[in-house]
A and B are shown apart, each in its own frame.
Chain A
Amino acid sequence: MQHQFFDHLSSIPSPLRDLDPRVKVVALLSLVLVVVLWPRLTSWQVLGYLGLLLALARWARLPLRPLVERSLAVVPFLALVAVAPRGLQLAGPIFARGALSALAMVILTSATPFPELLSALARLGLPRPLVLILSFMYRYTFILVDEAERMYRAWQGRAVSRQRRVLWQSLGGVIASLFLRSYERGERVYAAMAARGFDGEIRLLSPPKGLRGRDLFFLAAFAALLLAITIAWGGN
């Protein structure tokens, strides 16, 4: 089982982790919006945002390496831009915007346990069906990965043929049956939901919880820094 890859960072205790997840969502999403929508980013701005994010990561006691690795996962997509006409000229700014946005989201999800993130999104007004889909995704990704791993091992065990074509064909079979199993799993999960009174109406728990002083302080400080970097180093 490889469940480590998802949850272990968000279990590190830190001041950022303890904040209300709603202010984290709002703060980091607004940084992403600025980074993506500001017409022309200057190098100073890029460095400023990067510094802000790294300071945040440090405050959250997050190890740098996994953050950087995860943020760079967007690089292959940026490579697509580079091959477009005039691509190389565009690639620099797009890379900066992409990597900064990714880093912001990685910090958000690493400093917030996923269940809390979901309830924050629900309380910020994300439609309930989407919240439910995300929560299933969280829960069943692990099961799917395990299942795929088991089947892959079984396939390797039986894959005695040296012929490429035969191998690929049988791998196709493995993937098809993974689909089938997931489909059947879906049916059983639905039966289990119905068994506990699910009638199509999605109800979510939302214990009323006010923002505390430190949540508001964080939000204000973050907004001030974001604004300062954007305006002071915005150039012309």
Chain B
Amino acid sequence: MKPASLTVKDVSFAYPDGQHALHSVSLTVAPGEAVAILGPNGAGKSTLLLHLNGILAPAKGEIWVGELQLNKHNLKEIRRLVGVVFQDPDDQLFMPTVFEDVAFGPLNLGLAEAEIAERVRAALSRVDLEGYERRSAHHLSFGEKKRVCLAAVLAMEPGVLALDEPTSNLDPRGRRRLLELLSAIPLTRIIATHDLDLVRRLCPRAVILDGGRIVADGPSAELLRDETLLDSHGLL
């Protein structure tokens, strides 16, 4: 696994119904850095994450991953490089078994079956789910589903991980487990969250997004001390 840098340059986006979700967002993340994206509901966090691998295309602005600028010719390569873990694991686990779910990405990369099996094994062991290959997602706990989602993305050997509210709906133990896993992954991590404790533990840097605009960007220790700032953006 080799962490990649990520640059969002002046990105604006509106949904087809006219809802402006992002206004000139700019963000540069160094290889291996862990950055939290904080913001109230509707701030545009999910919208921003969906731009990072080209699921949504910006109306204006550029996305760079390492030396690659996202465009329709390198979309596939960018999607391999930027792994997005969605908020609801049921959206991301759509195959009959855990094995097939984790193999889905590598299969689309056109890898040989032996290589795919090896990647699935490595990814599942990375999230402590060895032996879960033949289980079906609907027989797993919520925390296990979340970890399978993470494995499914890791199996593509990405350089950047983008996680949308990874700890929401997890019980304390499942949450602790996930935090441990995430802190041990040496990739560039961008984590959209409301979980201030996660930010403290995992992300030295935080960005506050509100109304589709970046309103603060700095060391999370400082931002989290600034109660008036947090309060005015609905984070307390």
Contact = CB atoms under 8 A, between A and B. Distances in A.
Interface of A: 3, 7, 113-115, 118, 135-136, 138-140, 142-143, 185, 188-189, 191-199, 203-205, 207
Contacts of B50: 191
Ranked nearest first, the 4 interchain pairs of A and B with the lowest CB-CB distance are: A197-B108, A196-B105, A115-B96, A188-B91
Interface stretch (B79-87, B122-130, B171-179): B79-87
B148 to A, nearest CB: 12
B122 to A, nearest CB: 16
Nearest to A208: B113
Given A115-B100, A198-B108, A199-B108, A205 B116 contact: yes
Interface in B182-215: none
B109 A205 contact: no
A230 B3 CA distance: 66
Tell me the interface secondary structure of chain B in the complex.
helix
Interface size class of B (residues with CB under 8 A): 35 or more
B53 A195 contact: yes
Contact of B109 (A185, A192, A194, A197): A197
Interface string B30-71: 000000000000000000001001010000000000000000
Interface stretch (B13-21, B133-141, B217-225, B227-235): B133-141
Nearest to A198: B108
B82 to A, nearest CB: 8
B95 A139 contact: yes
B26 interface: no
Interface of B: 50, 53, 55, 76, 79-80, 83-84, 86, 88, 90-97, 100, 103-105, 107-110, 113, 116, 134, 136-139, 152-153, 156
B96 A143 contact: no
Nearest to B153: A196
Contacts of A189: 91-92, 94
Contact of A135 (B91, B92, B95, B107): B95
B90 A197 contact: no
